Amino acid sequence: MTVPREMPEKWPRVRGPGRAEEERRVRANAREYNEKFQYASNCIKTSKYNIVTFLPVNLFEQFQEVANTYFLFLLILQLIPQISSLSWFTTIVPLVLVLTITAVKDATDDYFRHKSDNQVNNRQSQVLIGGVLRQEQWMNVRVGDIIKLENNQFVAADLLLLCSSEPHGLCYIETAELDGETNMKVRQAIPVTSELGDTSKLARFDGEVICEPPNNKLDKFGGTLYWKENKYPLSNQNMLLRGCVLRNTEWCFGLVIFAGPDTKLMQNSGRTKFKRTSIDRLMNTLVLWIFGFLVCMGVILAIGNAIWEHEVGVCFQIYLPWDEGVHSAFFSGFLSFWSYIIILNTVVPISLYVSVEVIRLGHSYFINWDKKMYCAKRRTPAEARTTTLNEELGQVEYIFSDKTGTLTQNIMVFSKCSVNGHSYGDVQDVLGHKAELGERPEPVDFSFNPLADPRFQFWDPSLLEAVKLGDPHVHEFFRLLSLCHTVMSEEKSEGELYYKAQSPDEGALVTAARNFGFVFRSRTPKTITVHELGRAITYQLLAILDFNNIRKRMSVIVRSPEGKIRLYCKGADTILLERLHPVNQDLTNVTTDHLNEYAGEGLRTLVLAYKDLEESYYEDWSERLHRAGSAPEAREDRLARLYDEVEHDMMLLGATAIEDKLQQGVPETIAILTLANIKIWVLTGDKQETAVNIGYSCKMLTDDMTEVFVVTGHTVLEVREELRKAREKMMDASRSMGNGFSYQEKLSSSKLTSVLEAIAGEYALVINGHSLAHALEADMEVEFLETACACKAVICCRVTPLQKAQVVELVKKYKKAVTLAIGDGANDVSMIKTAHIGCGHQRAGGHPAVLASDYSFSQFKFLQRLLLVHGRWSYLRMCKFLCYFFYKNFAFTMVHFWFGFFCGFSAQTVYDQYFITLYNIVYTSLPVLAMGVFDQDVPEQREHGVSPSCTRPGQLNLLFNKREFFICIAQGIYTSVLMFFIPYGVFADATRDDGAQLADYQSFAVTVATSLVIVVSVQIGLDTGFWTAINHFFIWGSLAAYFAILFAMQHSDGLFQMFPNQFRFVGNAQNTLAQPTVWLTIALTTVVCIMPVVAFRFLKLDLKPELSDTVRYTQLVRKKQKTQHRCMRRVGRAGSRRSGYAFSHQEGFGELIMSGKNMRLSSLALSSFAARPSAGWIETLRKKKGSDSSAAGSPSAAPDKTLKV
Partner 1 sequence: MKNKTSLSPQEGEVRPSRCPDNSAFKQQKLPAWKPQLTIESVLSSFFLIGGFCLSVGVCLILSAKSVREIQIDYSDKCSDCSKLRENSSNWNKECHCSVNFMLKEDILGDVFMYYGLQNFYQNHRRYVISRSDAQLLGRNVNIQKSYCAPFTTYRNGTPMAPCGAIANSMFNDTIDLFYNLNSSVIEVPLLKTGNSWWTDKNVKFRNPKSYNLSSAFAGTARPPYWQKPVYLLDEEDERNNGYVNDDFIIWMRVSAFATFRNLYRRIRRIRQFADGLPAGNYTFRISYNFPVTKFKGRKHVILSTVVWSGGSNPFLGIAYVVTGTAATLTGFVITAIHLKLRKKKTYFQK
Which residues are known to be catalytic?
402
DSSP secondary structure, 708-764, as one string: EEEE--SSHHHHHHHHHHHHHHHHHHHHHHT-S--HHHHHHS-S--STGGG-SS-EE
Radius of gyration from C-alpha coordinates of the chain = 37
If one asks whether residue 1048 binds partner 1 (CB under 8 A), the answer comes out as: no
**How far apart are alpha carbons 1084 and 1107 in whole angstroms?**
34
> Which residue lies nearer to partner 1 by CB, 274 or 319?
319
One of 140, 182, 278, 1077 touching partner 1 (CB under 8 A): 1077
Binding partner 1 (rule: CB under 8 A), the pick from 329, 998, 1012, 1015 is 998
Residues of span 337-356 touching partner 1 by CB under 8 A: 339
Residue 438 or 995 having the CB closest to partner 1: 995
Query: Which ranges of 324-483 does DSSP label H, i.e. alpha helix?
Result: 329-343, 351-369, 461-469, 472-483
Round to whole Å and give the CA distance between 941 and 954: 19
State phi, psi for 718 to the nearest 5 degrees: -60, -45
Binding of residue 325 to partner 1 (CB under 8 A): no
Asked whether the CA dihedral 469, 473, 478, 479 is positive or negative, the reply is positive
The CA-CA-CA angle for residues 157, 160, 164, to 5°, reads: 105
Residue 1055 within binding range of partner 1, rule CB under 8 A: no
Cα–Cα distance for residue pair 550/1199, rounded to 1 Å: 9
Does residue 324 touch partner 1 according to CB under 8 A?
yes
d(C-alpha 526, C-alpha 1155), whole Å: 9
| 904 is a contact residue toward partner 1 (CB under 8 A) | yes
Which H helix or E strand runs over 1009?
A: helix 1001-1023
Strand partners, 679: 398
The maximal CA–CA distance of the chain, rounded, in angstroms, is 130
Task: Tell whether residue 1071 is a contact of partner 1 (CB under 8 A).
Answer: yes
Among 51, 315, 469, 1116, binds partner 1 (CB under 8 A): 315
Out of 834, 859, 906, 1146, the only residue in the binding site for partner 1 (CB under 8 A) is: 906
Instruction: Check residue 430 for interaction with partner 1 (CB under 8 A).
Output: no
Instruction: State which residue, 471 or 1106, has the beta carbon closest to partner 1.
Output: 1106
Using CB under 8 A as the binding rule, whether residue 995 contacts partner 1 is answered as yes
609/998 with CB nearer partner 1: 998
Nearest-approach distance from CB 1002 to partner 1, in angstroms: 7
Which of 986-991's residues contact partners 24+ apart within 8 Å by CB, and which partners?
A: 986/1077, 986/1080, 986/1081, 987/1081, 990/1077
Minimum Å gap between C-beta 870 and partner 1 is 9
Degrees, nearest 5: CA angle 870-872-873: 65
Nearer to partner 1, 747 or 1091 (CB): 1091
Given 947, 1003, 1155, 1163, the residue binding partner 1 (CB under 8 A): 1003
- Give the shortest CB-648-to-partner 1 separation in angstroms: 58
840 three-state secondary structure: strand
946: contact with partner 1 by CB under 8 A: no
Is 88 a binding residue for partner 1 by CB under 8 A? The answer is no
Report yes or no: 1018 and 1010 within 8 Å, Cβ to Cβ.
no
Distance, in Å, from the CA atom of 1053 to the CA atom of 619, rounded to the nearest integer, reads 116
Print the SS3 string covering 889-934: HHHHHHHHHHHHCCCCCCCCCCCCHHHHHHHHHHHCHHHHHHHHHH
729 near partner 1, rule: CB under 8 A = no
The answer to the question of residue 844 lying near partner 1 (CB under 8 A) is no
Interface stretch with partner 1, choices 235-243, 261-269, 855-863, 1056-1064 (CB under 8 A): 1056-1064
Instruction: Answer yes or no whether residue 369 interacts with partner 1 by CB under 8 A.
Output: yes
Give the one residue of 1029, 1117, 1170, 1171 binding partner 1; rule: CB under 8 A. 1029
Q: Apex CA 776: angle with CA 770 and CA 781, to 5°?
A: 140
Taking CB under 8 A as the criterion, the residue among 12, 131, 292, 321 binding partner 1 is 321
Binds partner 1 by CB under 8 A, chosen from 1060, 1176, 1186, 1199 = 1060
Residues numbered 380-409 forming contacts with partner 1, rule: CB under 8 A: 380-381
Rounded least distance, CB 858 to partner 1, Å: 11
Q: Which residue, 350 or 1069, has its beta carbon nearer to partner 1?
A: 1069
SS3 189: coil
Strands in 442-517 per DSSP E: 488-491, 497-500
Q: Which is nearer to partner 1, 235 or 997 (CB)?
A: 997
872 or 1137, CB closer to partner 1? Answer: 872
* Phi–psi pair at 568, nearest 5 degrees: -110, 135
Q: Any contact of residue 1109 with partner 1 (CB under 8 A)?
A: no
Tell me the C-alpha distance between 5 and 224, whole Å.
13
What residues between 970 and 989 interact with partner 1 by CB under 8 A? 982, 984-989
| Binding of residue 862 to partner 1 (CB under 8 A) | no
| 429 in contact with partner 1 (CB under 8 A) | no
Q: Does 857 bind partner 1 (CB under 8 A)?
A: no
Residues 915-934 that bind partner 1 (CB under 8 A): 934
Among 540, 1075, 1115, 1167, binds partner 1 (CB under 8 A): 1075
- Using CB under 8 A, which residues numbered 526 to 555 contact partner 1? none
Q: Using the rule CB under 8 A, is 1099 a contact of partner 1?
A: yes
CA 569 to mean position of chain CA atoms = 40
By the rule CB under 8 A, 57 interacts with partner 1: no
Among positions 1002, 1174, 1187, 1189, the unique one binding partner 1 when judged by CB under 8 A: 1002
Q: What is the 3-state secondary structure (H, E, C) of 791-841?
A: CCEEEECCCCHHHHHHHHHHHHHHHCCEEEEEECCHHHHHHHHHCCEEEEE
On whether the CB atoms of residues 132 and 143 are closer than 8 A, the answer is no
The single-letter DSSP state of residue 380 is B
**Cα(1021)–Cα(1013) distance, rounded to whole angstroms?**
12
**Of 1150-1169, which residues contact partner 1 (CB under 8 A)?**
none
User: Strands 651-662 and 408-419: what pairing?
Assistant: antiparallel
Q: What is the DSSP letter of 818?
A: E
For residue 410, count other CB atoms closer than 10 A to its CB: 20
Task: Count the residues of the shown chain that bind partner 1, applying the rule CB under 8 A.
Answer: 90
Return the residue of 331, 374, 1033, 1169 that touches partner 1, per CB under 8 A: 374
Give how far Cα 276 sits from Cα of 390, 391, 812, Å: 10, 11, 14
Kindly write out the interface string for residues 864-903 of this chain, putting x where it contacts partner 1 by CB under 8 A and - elsewhere: ---------x----------------------------xx
From the list 296, 634, 747, 1101, which residue makes contact with partner 1 (rule: CB under 8 A)?
Answer: 1101
Give the dihedral sign, CA 117/118/122/123: negative
Q: Report CA torsion sign: 107, 109, 114, 119.
A: positive
Q: How far is CA 203 from CA 30, 31, 197, in A?
A: 10, 13, 11
Q: With binding defined as CB under 8 A, does residue 250 bind partner 1? A: no
Query: Do 695 and 670 form a contact (C-beta atoms < 8 A)?
Result: no
For partner 1, the binding residue among 300, 639, 999, 1039 (CB under 8 A) is 999
Q: Is 520 in the site for partner 1 (CB under 8 A)?
A: no
Q: Which of 793, 788, 757, 733 shows the shortest CA–CA distance to 1126?
A: 733
Stretch that binds partner 1, among 159-167, 420-428, 466-474, 1051-1059 (CB under 8 A): 1051-1059
Q: How far is the CB of 376 from partner 1 (least distance, A)?
A: 7
Question: Given the rule CB under 8 A, which of 493-501, 699-707, 1038-1046, 1076-1084 is the region that contacts partner 1?
Answer: 1076-1084
Residue 936 within binding range of partner 1, rule CB under 8 A:
yes
User: Which residue, 506 or 1023, is less far from partner 1 as judged by CB?
Assistant: 1023
Given 17, 319, 447, 1116, the residue binding partner 1 (CB under 8 A)? 319
Binder among 5, 228, 371, 751 for partner 1 (CB under 8 A): 371
Among 328, 991, 1121, 1123, binds partner 1 (CB under 8 A): 991
